[in-house]
Structure 1
Amino acid sequence: MGEIHRLNPVQAANHFVHKHFPDCEGALLAGSVVRGEATETSDLDIVIFDKSLSSAYRESLIDFGWPIEVFVYNLTSYKPFFEDDCKRARPSLPRMVSEGIIMKDTGVIDAIKKEAQELLDKGPAKWTADTIDTKRYFITDTLDDFVGSSNRTEEIFIANTLAELVSEFVLRTNCKWTGASKWTVRSLRHYDEGFANDFVEAFDLFYKTGDKRQVIQLADHVLEPFGGKLFNGFSLGKK
C-alpha cells in the first residue's frame, strides 16, 4: 500500500472544521501537535463550540490523513467538564482550551480561554488532613506489600500501583495538578524536575533489575513530612 498523504496539523484541522462544523462559533486545535511533542502515532485533538447543539459529545475518526479526537460542546455544556476535571485534579479540557490554537472564532473563544486559564492557575483544591491520612495509609499498605513480596510477577503490579499513589500524593499535597499515563511524569516534571528524575530513576531501576531500595527510600521520603507511614490506629468509616 502507498503512503497516505497527510496534511500538516493546522491545515488538516482547518479542513476538518470547515467540513464537519461549518456553522460553529469556535474551534481549537490542541494536544501534542500544538505543544511540539507529536509522535508518529499522535492524533489531532480538536475542540468545537457550537451553540446549536443540545449536549456535549466526543468522537474519534480518521480524516485528512489523521486520526482525530473531536470534543464538541455548546456555549455552556463545557462548564461541567471543566468542573469535573478540576475536581479530579486532571484538567484535561481546561488544558486543551488554554493551549489550543484558534481555528475559528466568532467572538466566543477569548472568554472561554480566560476561564480555562484561571482554573489552571488556581490549581486543584487542597487536600484535607483526613484525605492525607487516608492516602498515607494506602501508600503504607502498598509499600508493605512491595517490601514483603518475593513474587516477581506480583511485584511488578504492586510497583505500578505504588508509582500511581506516590506521584498523586506528591502532587496533591503540593496543590499541583495530577495526570494519568504520560501525564504522570509530565506533571511531576512541571512540579519539580529533580524529584521527577529521582522518581523515574527509582522505578526504572526496579523494573530493570528488581532492586527495590530506591523505590522504598523514595516512598519513605515522600511520607516523612506528613508523619511517615501510617497503619496503627488508622480507621475509615468508624462511628
Structure 2
Amino acid sequence: MSSDADGPSHPINQARRLAAECFPDALSVILAGSTASGRATVTSDLDIAVLIEDGGETRRETLRFEERLVELFVHTRAGLDELFAADTASRRGVMQYMYAHGLVLSEREEAATHIKQHAEDALHEGPGALPPAAVESQRYVLTDALDDLADAADVVERLAVANVVLSTAADLLFDHHRAWTGGGKWLPRRLLQADPEHGGALLDGYRHLCENGEPEDFADAAAEILTLAGGPLREGYARTWRAAAESAAR
C-alpha cells in the first residue's frame, strides 16, 4: 500500500471508522481478507464480519464506504453457527478463515476472542473425508479429463479441459490431506498450503500449459495426484442414479 499505515486513508483505519459508525453496538467486528493479511492494494475491498445480538438478521451486503468497496457478513450467533456448518459442508471454511485470521476491530464480552478460538479449532480439525462414492466419481472424471487433454488439438478446447483437470485434481489432493478447499484466487493458495510439492507441480504445469500450450508437465502432475487418490478409473466403474445425483449436488 502506498498510504501510510497511520494515515486516515489506510484501509484498516477506514474499517475501524466503518465499525464505529455503522455497528457501534455489535458484539464483534472482524476485518478479514487481503487487508487483514497485509496483501491489500489500493483497489482491495474490505471483508468485514459483524456479530450482532440475537433477533437481528443474518445477511451479506455489499456497499461503498469512503470510496472503498465493502463486503459485509452480518450474523447473529445462531446465524454464524449455520454459516460455519455450511462452510464445513462445502469444505471451504470461508467464515472459519475470516474469524481465525481476521483482525479484531471491536468486541464486547470477549465475543470475537471466543469465536476466533472456535474457528481456529475447526480449521485445525479439517473438513473430514469425502464419501468413497464421491472420491470414485472424481477419479473417474479426472481419468476421463486427462484422456481428453491428451487428445485435444484445439487450443481453446485444451484450456477448457485443463480447467476440469485442475479443479478435479485439486479436489482429490485436498481430500487426500483432509484439507480445506478454495475457489478463485484461493484455490492456488490453499493448494500450496495443503501440499507444496504436488500442489506446486500442478500449478506450475498449469501455468506452463497456459503460457506455452504444452500439457505434458501438467498432465504428469495431475496423474500423480490421481495415483494418490487410488489411480485411474475407467472399466468397471458404475454408480446408481442416487449416488450420481448426490455427487452432483455436492
Q: TM-score, normalised by structure 2?
A: 0.88
Whether 1:236 aligns to 2:239 is yes
Which of 172, 177, 195 does residue 174 from structure 1 map onto? 177
- Matches for 1:81-100 after TM superposition, within 5 Å: 81-100=83-102
- Separation in structure 2 between the aligned mates of residue 20 and residue 207 of structure 1, nearest angstrom: 44
Q: Give the gaps of 5 or more residues in structure 1.
A: none
Which of 121, 125, 131 does residue 124 from structure 2 map onto? 121
The answer to whether the 8 Å contact 1:27/1:103 transfers is yes
The answer to whether the 8 Å contact 1:6/1:65 transfers is no
- Separation in structure 2 between the aligned mates of residue 18 and residue 6 of structure 1, nearest angstrom: 14
Q: 1:32 to 1:226 in 2, by over 3 A?
A: closer
- Separation in structure 2 between the aligned mates of residue 230 and residue 76 of structure 1, nearest angstrom: 42
* Aligned-residue RMSD, C-alpha: 1.7
The answer to whether the 8 Å contact 2:170/2:191 transfers is yes
Q: 1:65 to 1:141 in 2, by over 3 A?
A: same
Aligned to 1:57: 59
- Matches for 1:145-164 after TM superposition, within 5 Å: 145-164=148-167
- Separation in structure 2 between the aligned mates of residue 14 and residue 210 of structure 1, nearest angstrom: 47
Per-residue deviation, residues 57-99 of structure 1 (Å, max 9, x unmatched):
0111111232111110112211111011111110111110111
Give the length in aligned residue pairs: 235
The answer to whether the 8 Å contact 1:56/1:74 transfers is yes
Q: 1:101 to 1:161 in 2, by over 3 A?
A: same
Q: Give the gaps of 5 or more residues in structure 2.
A: 1-6, 243-250
Which of 224, 228, 231 does residue 227 from structure 2 map onto? 224
Whether 1:141 aligns to 2:144 is yes
* 4+ residue runs over 6 A deviation: none
The answer to whether the 8 Å contact 1:44/1:68 transfers is yes
- Separation in structure 2 between the aligned mates of residue 157 and residue 130 of structure 1, nearest angstrom: 25
Q: TM-score, normalised by structure 1?
A: 0.92
Look up the equivalent residue of 1:229 and give its one-letter code. Answer: P
